[in-house]
């Protein structure tokens, strides 16, 4: 391995690592955005809010952290409604704290840590700073309560048709007794499913928990904890260091479903009425008054699902739509593929669900090169396939709408019965939307709507005191180990120390790149990594020393020392790596956090001890003219003579 041109490699890796780690140490800007409604308040009330912030600032934030805030003591101008905080080590916990303590002043979801140049360059503005787990810095805890009333009403929609038919059979005087009995028992069966036993509730909550788990893992939160609180039919979610609670809440509560519903039969009487009325308003030049325009405004202003539902219900009243039907908006993009997905017109669908998301599985997004758009293909369950075939053969010529959440995304006409159990949804999707839709189909929608029962920010497992002392202790321990290595192996110890430092730096950069959330077990993993890295060097030096003692020339002793130690180090690390990978796959929460740091730590350790240390060592011995390598401790070491 005597090509010293390889030296460029460690320097390159170090440079990249430092660049990645830069945002952790850099002076950063944080924008704390003032709520819009604050500006409408009387001046006296504004003053109270502003004073509360700055009193706390003077007492705590500013004093201990050395951060500065602009403008000080007043409300920022309305055109630029934010305070700019400048400083190092701005953590999400601190941002949360400021937001939470000044809720009536600060619009939390809009707070933003300005990305540094490096984050802009390689991450498109996404954060590159190391995230700390809930156990280290606290975070958000949300308790979501299952809304079982809503759940049963949806269930009733699903069985609406069958219930109707069964009731007809029961009331039919000409029906056979046998048929009536059958209908009766089926009716009882369906009705019992509306009646939720505690057991059933737990099952539904378990499903919801699994889906939330899946959703959170795609949100770069490595160690969210999701658990069920049986006593109150609720799901508790702990989110380490979450700064933007609004966005996360939206993801958690998203009850988006995928359903097929039949459109009203052709000619579209109700849809026609609405369209006629809209056209008339347009002709009068009052585009702003059309319902679709109003609805688009609602969507653009992010008025929320409730407001949208109310708007559509209003339309149902306005046009006297019968109870069996429901008004939906048809969503599509404008002229270009990049324009926003917005409601474009209204359609009227049957209230009953023809085919629900439960009948579909294994959805995959794919790119359709014919229409230059994304689509989603999926498999139907055997039961679903049968239903779908019946549906399509009974309703030829009618339109079958696909409803995603509460958006109708397409309503193709049924030309032929569809058999085979595979189908696809093509709409004007972007890649993200296609992935989201596929996720909803594959993972399933949340079985029950969830409402926020409680949301608060909680304290860390360890107090600040312990963390401060702990960090100091680990740092001192590290330092002492490094001193000891130099004391014991002299020049060799120094090389080992350098490779240990490089090891930790590369590991930190790797973990940052992977959006890893650092927790207490994670730190334990790093400590173990450092221990094993030191051990690898110890093994190597003991081998080199043995070679020297046997009278080999120094450069040969070094080479042989590394070669002899190679498999020992490999075996030890590979075995630990296997255990680590198992932990990642089987473990949860704390075990996973530990295992991820450990596994990557092993990778970096193998690199630094087998490649980097060797490179440095051979360079020292062969090029820098070190002819005597004493690997015995100071004071105790007997003088060694080696043949050069």
- What is the token pair recorded at 144? 């979501």
Are the beta carbons of 116 and 22 closer than 8 angstroms?
yes
CA-based radius of gyration for the chain = 33
CA–CA separation, 357 vs 248, rounded Å?
23
Between 367 and 567, CB nearer to another protein: 567
CA–CA separation, 310 vs 75, rounded Å?
36
By CB under 8 A, which span of 144-152, 327-335, 481-489, 508-516 interacts with another protein? 481-489
Can you tell me which of 59, 88, 286, 300 binds another protein, judged by CB under 8 A?
59
Q: How far is CA 194 from the centre of its chain?
A: 34
By CB under 8 A, which span of 163-171, 323-331, 504-512, 586-594 interacts with another protein? 586-594
Between 216 and 440, CB nearer to another protein: 216
Site residues (CB under 8 A) for another protein, limited to 136-165:
none
Judging by beta carbons within 10 Å of its beta carbon (0-12, 13-18, 19+), is residue 52 exposed, middle or buried? middle
Least CB distance to another protein at residue 135 (A): 6
Residues in the chain: 644
Number of residues that bind another protein (CB under 8 A): 71
SS3 131: strand
Can you tell me which of 539, 548, 606, 617 binds another protein, judged by CB under 8 A?
539
Can you tell me which of 95, 292, 348, 485 binds another protein, judged by CB under 8 A?
485
SS3 611: helix
Least CB distance to another protein at residue 523 (A): 8
Between 223 and 406, CB nearer to another protein: 223
Between 530 and 612, CB nearer to another protein: 530
Can you tell me which of 14, 147, 546, 603 binds another protein, judged by CB under 8 A?
546
Cis before 316 (ω within 30)? no
Residue 542 sits in the site that holds another protein (CB under 8 A)? yes
Can you tell me which of 567, 623, 626, 640 binds another protein, judged by CB under 8 A?
567
Can you tell me which of 568, 622, 630, 642 binds another protein, judged by CB under 8 A?
568
| H-assigned helices in 218-321 | 245-253, 269-283, 291-300, 305-318
Rounded to 5 degrees, φ, ψ at 246 are -60, -45
Residue 414 sits in the site that holds another protein (CB under 8 A)? no
Strand order in the sheet with 234-240: 225-229, 234-240, 139-146, 450-458
Residue 225 sits in the site that holds another protein (CB under 8 A)? yes
Residue 203 sits in the site that holds another protein (CB under 8 A)? no
Q: How far is CA 381 from the centre of its chain?
A: 29
Q: Look up residue 219 and give its DSSP letter.
A: T
Residue 531 sits in the site that holds another protein (CB under 8 A)? yes
Can you tell me which of 437, 548, 598, 615 binds another protein, judged by CB under 8 A?
598
Between 109 and 564, CB nearer to another protein: 564
Least CB distance to another protein at residue 635 (A): 16
Site residues (CB under 8 A) for another protein, limited to 118-137:
135
Among residues 418, 291, 433, the alpha carbon closest in space to that of 367 is found at 433
Between 414 and 528, CB nearer to another protein: 528
Can you tell me which of 571, 627, 628, 643 binds another protein, judged by CB under 8 A?
571
Site residues (CB under 8 A) for another protein, limited to 446-475:
456, 458-467, 469-470, 472-474
Between 572 and 603, CB nearer to another protein: 572
Rounded to 5 degrees, φ, ψ at 79 are -70, -35
Can you tell me which of 117, 574, 628, 643 binds another protein, judged by CB under 8 A?
574
By CB under 8 A, which span of 190-198, 283-291, 330-338, 572-580 interacts with another protein? 572-580
Are the beta carbons of 642 and 553 closer than 8 angstroms?
yes
- What is the token pair recorded at 371? 């229409």
By CB under 8 A, which span of 274-282, 293-301, 427-435, 535-543 interacts with another protein? 535-543
By CB under 8 A, which span of 376-384, 421-429, 514-522, 622-630 interacts with another protein? 514-522
586-590 long-range contacts (CB < 8 A, ≥24 apart) are 589/223, 589/225, 590/223, 590/519, 590/520, 590/521
Least CB distance to another protein at residue 590 (A): 5
Least CB distance to another protein at residue 476 (A): 5
CA–CA separation, 376 vs 361, rounded Å?
11
- What is the token pair recorded at 450? 């969830």
Residue 190 sits in the site that holds another protein (CB under 8 A)? no
Are the beta carbons of 457 and 139 closer than 8 angstroms?
yes
Cα four-point dihedral sign 393, 398, 404, 405: negative
């Amino acid at each position: 391995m005597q090509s010293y041109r390889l030296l460029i490699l460690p320097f390159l890796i170090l440079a990249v690592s430092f660049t990645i780690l830069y945002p952790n140490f850099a002076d950063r800007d944080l924008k704390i955005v003032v709520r819009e409604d604050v500006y409408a308040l009387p001046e006296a009330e504004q003053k109270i809010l502003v004073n509360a912030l700055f009193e706390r600032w003077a007492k705590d934030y500013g004093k201990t952290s050395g951060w500065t805030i602009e403008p000080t003591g007043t409300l920022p101008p309305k055109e630029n409604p934010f305070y700019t905080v400048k400083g190092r080590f701005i953590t999400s916990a601190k941002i949360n704290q400021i937001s939470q303590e000044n809720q009536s002043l600060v619009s939390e979801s809009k707070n933003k840590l300005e990305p540094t140049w490096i984050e802009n360059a390689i991450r498109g503005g996404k954060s590159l700073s190391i995230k700390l787990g809930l156990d280290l810095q606290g975070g958000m805890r949300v308790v979501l309560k299952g809304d079982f009333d809503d759940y049963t009403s949806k269930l009733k929609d699903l069985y609406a048709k069958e219930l109707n038919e069964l009731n007809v059979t029961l009331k039919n005087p000409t029906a056979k007794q046998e048929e009536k009995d059958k209908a009766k028992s089926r009716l009882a069966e369906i009705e019992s499913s509306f009646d939720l036993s505690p057991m059933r509730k737990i099952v539904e909550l378990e499903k919801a928990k699994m889906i939330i788990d899946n959703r959170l893992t795609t949100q770069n939160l490595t160690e969210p904890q999701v658990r069920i609180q049986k006593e109150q039919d609720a799901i508790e979610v702990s989110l380490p260091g979450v700064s933007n609670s609004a966005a996360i809440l939206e993801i958690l509560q998203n009850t988006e479903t995928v359903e097929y519903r039949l459109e009203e039969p052709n000619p579209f009487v109700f849809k026609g009425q609405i369209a006629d009325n809209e056209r008339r308003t347009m002709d009068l030049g009052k585009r702003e008054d059309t319902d679709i325009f109003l609805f688009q405004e609602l969507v653009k202003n992010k008025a929320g699902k409730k407001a949208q539902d109310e708007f559509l219900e209003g339309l149902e009243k306005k046009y006297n739509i019968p109870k069996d039907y429901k008004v939906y908006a048809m969503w599509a993009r404008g002229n270009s593929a990049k324009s926003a997905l917005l409601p474009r017109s209204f359609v009227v669908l049957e209230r009953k669900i023809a085919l629900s998301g439960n009948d579909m599985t294994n959805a995959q997004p794919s790119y359709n090169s014919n229409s230059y758009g994304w689509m989603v293909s999926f498999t139907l369950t055997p039961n679903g396939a049968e239903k779908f075939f019946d549906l399509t053969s009974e309703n030829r010529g009618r339109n079958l709408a696909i409803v995603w959440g509460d958006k109708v995304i397409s309503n193709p006409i049924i030309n032929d019965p569809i058999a085979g159990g595979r189908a696809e949804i093509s709409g004007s999707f972007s890649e993200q939307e296609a992935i989201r839709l596929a996720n909803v189909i594959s993972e399933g929608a949340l079985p029950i709507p969830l409402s926020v029962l409680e949301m608060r920010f909680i304290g860390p497992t360890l107090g600040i005191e312990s963390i401060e002392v702990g960090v100091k202790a680990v740092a001192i321990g590290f330092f002492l180990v490094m001193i000891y290595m130099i004391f014991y192996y002299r020049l060799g110890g120094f090389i080992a120390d350098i490779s240990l430092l490089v090891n930790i730096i590369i590991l930190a950069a790797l973990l940052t790149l992977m959006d890893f959330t650092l927790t207490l077990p994670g730190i334990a993993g790093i400590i173990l990594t450092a221990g094993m890295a030191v051990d690898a060097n110890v093994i190597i030096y003991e081998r080199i020393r043995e070679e020297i003692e046997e009278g080999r020339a120094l450069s040969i002793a070094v080479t042989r020392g590394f070669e002899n130690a190679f498999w020992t180090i490999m075996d030890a690390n590979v075995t630990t790596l296997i255990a680590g990978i198992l932990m990642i796959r089987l473990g949860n929460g704390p075990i996973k956090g530990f295992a991820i740091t450990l596994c990557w730590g092993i990778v970096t350790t193998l690199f630094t001890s087998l490649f980097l240390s060797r490179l440095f060592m051979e360079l020292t011995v062969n090029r820098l003219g070190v002819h005597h390598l004493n690997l015995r401790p100071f004071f105790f070491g007997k003088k060694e003579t080696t043949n050069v």
